[in-house]
Structures are given as C-alpha cells and as structure tokens.
Structure 1
Amino acid sequence: MNQKTTFIWAGLLGCLGVMVGAFGAHALKPALEAAGRLDTFETAVKYQFYHTLALLAVGLMMNHIPAKALHYASLLFVLGILFFSGSLYILCMTGVGILGAVTPLGGVLFIAGWIMIVVSVVRK
C-alpha cells in the first residue's frame, strides 16, 4: 500500500473505531454485559485504535524511509484490524464462538506488521 492509501485506511478505520466504540458503549452495552462480552468488545476497539495509530505512523515514515517493508506493514495492519477486531466484533454480536479462532490470525498479522517496521529501519 502506498502512503495515500495508508492514510485513507487510517482515516476510515479511525472513524469506524469511534463509531463502533460509541455504539458499543451506549446502544450495545446492556446486551454485551448480559452476554459477558463487554471486555471482548472493548479489546477489539482498543486494538483497532492502536493499529490505526500505527498506520498513521507508517504513513509518516514513508516520507523518510523509502522501504517496501513499510508498504507491507501498512497492509498487514489493515488486515490485522479486519481479522482481529472484526472477528471479535462479530463474535460479540452473534455469539458464534468459532470466530474466535480467526482472532489469533489477526494477532499474527499485527506482529508481522511491527516486524516490517523494524525491517524497514534496519535496511535503511
């Protein structure tokens, strides 16, 4: 992903994080508490924001470090958010436990994204 695409994804995922977080805190809170999923939902929102901020940082780094690894880091963070947070959101809404098996894949994608940042700096 290039710098422009990285910033677009960061903006969209940041906006979505605010919307989903507010929806969960207000409209869904009673249902999430009754299902015992409030903590899970909050974890999904937190990791979405952490990695949205990481996307912004990667986009800024692209100005200073012309490394292909940063493009991969950007993509890995977006996919990580979709798999990690997305699977947790769906789990909270549907109660389908098998979706919890997708969540670790998102975590691996996050780890790979952070490694790509390191690779880009080391190779500079």
Structure 2
Amino acid sequence: MQSQIPDIFQIPLINYVLLASILFIIGIVGVLIRRNAIIIFMSVELMLNAVNLLLVAFSAYRSDPAGQVFVFFIMAVAAAEVAVGLAIIVMIYRNIRSIDVGLLDKLKW
C-alpha cells in the first residue's frame, strides 16, 4: 500500500535513528552524571522515549503495527514506573530532607 505523502516530504529512516541515538545518549549521560533523583528518572524516561521513537519509525517504515503496539505497552509501564519512582522519592525526601542519591548510604546493610 503506497503512502499518499509525496516523496519530497518523507523523512528518511536514518534521521529517526540519529535522533533516537542522540536522545538515548543524553539519557545515559544524565543517569551516569547527575546526582538528583528526579533528573535521573527524567533521563530514564528520555531513554524510553528514544526507544519508542525507533519502534514507531520502524513500524511505519515496514507498515507493521506491531511496533506501535509495543510502544503502547512501554508507555503504560513507564507511567507506572514514574508513579512508583516519585512515591519513593517523596519518602526519601521525608526521611533525609534531600533527593541527592549520594546521601542514600542509609539504605546499605
């Protein structure tokens, strides 16, 4: 089935791959360098969205809706992860009055 969009307006697949790679690398750097728990969670979400972008791009490229179904489930899991993660961050802040992950040595045995 041919797309109704003229060829001049179609974005090449490599552009999506490059954008998703850049977003994923920014997410990895955010997780490894930052010490704020909220920034770390945002970086993890950025990495998940980079994967979602690739799944949708490849799904559209191959005209297969399976990638878009996976994106739906990934977004549902990410929403649950954010809810649980923010609840944990609130409890940590109530106990030690900071969300700096370097101060979480109280969790060691």
TM-score scaled by structure 1? 0.39
Q: Which entry has the higher C-alpha Rg, 1 or 2?
A: 2
